[in-house]
Structure 1
């Protein structure tokens, strides 16, 4: 899928602030607002843009801990473990991966007790390895948009 310079600029701007108006996007790209709207519509239709969203700071809503949990389901438990992970409201992201583990799960938690409760819920079906996040030197971002 080929993006031109204007598409890349629009995506970069929206990744920084999804609330930018069409007028602001148009001024930066030197296009009209209707032209920008049409480009955004086409990017959505092509599946380049999935959603316009907000970024909430979990600490400000009571989630002081973040954990990365590697999960290795026991034989025959893969689909059950996957469903249990999907049902955890504290799970904000889960990747199915290759290697020794099957899943890498990112959890936001209010306490260590909450972490223990979640892990106890899958302990009979999977082995886990947990790391607490101290800092996030690189936050989720777009990959390079160069041509």
Structure 2
């Protein structure tokens, strides 16, 4: 049984996405409910797996890891399981997406230098052909669409 995703729940999610450290009293003011009512809603969102965790947002460049890239991987026939096992264990890989099209996987990677990127790509070439695109900037970064009514249809 799914949770009722009304306007209040969406507002709470947007606020927490923006600042996961907001307290129940601050959230309550935002949605015009009591703090206990907000706490109960958030608890339900967590229990239903809508909220899956809270984490700090890290600026990798400021942390000494200035290079991020997308790597398209066209995995060789019969090598997909071996490829998945490899990428799970590579710490430089931030995200791995299994996608449609000739490049079955797209990786988002972060490394401290071009030589580290080269070493990473060398690890992948036995299992896939790769195409690498350097990430210059990220003008949009969000976890949810801005206008949720546009995406889900009108909410009650």
TM-score of the aligned structures, taking structure 2 as reference length: 0.90
CA distance in 2, matches of 1:97, 1:40: 32
Separation of aligned partners in 2, 1:52 and 1:109: 24
Structure-2 separation of matches of 1:10 and 1:139: 18
SS in 1 for 2:95: strand
Superposed CA RMSD in Å reads: 1.1
1:145 matched to 2:131? The reply is no
Kindly tell me the number of residue pairs found equivalent between the two proteins.
147
Give the Cα separation in 1 of the matches to 2:8 and 2:126.
52
Corresponding residue SS for 2:62: helix
Secondary structure, counterpart of 1:44 in structure 2: helix
Superposition map of 1:90-105 within 5 A: 90-105=92-107
Question: Are 2:14 and 1:12 aligned?
Answer: yes
Structure 2, unaligned runs of 5 or more: 150-154
Give the Å deviation of 1:45. 1.4
Q: Could you tell me which of 5, 8, 14 is aligned with 1:3?
A: 5
Q: In 1, Cα distance between the equivalents of 2:30 and 2:129?
A: 51
Separation in structure 2 between the aligned mates of residue 48 and residue 119 of structure 1, nearest angstrom = 35
* 1:41-91 Cα deviation digits (max 9, x unpaired): 111112211111111111111111110000011111101111111111111
- In structure 1, distance between residues paired with 2:50 and 2:76: 37
Could you say which residue in structure 2 is the equivalent of 1:23?
Answer: 25
| Separation of aligned partners in 2, 1:56 and 1:38 | 29
**Paired residue secondary structure (2:140):** coil
For structure 1, the 5+ residue unaligned runs are none
Pick aligned residue for 1:63 from 62, 65, 70: 65
- Runs of 4+ aligned structure 1 residues displaced above 6 Å come to none
1:49 alignment partner in structure 2 = 51
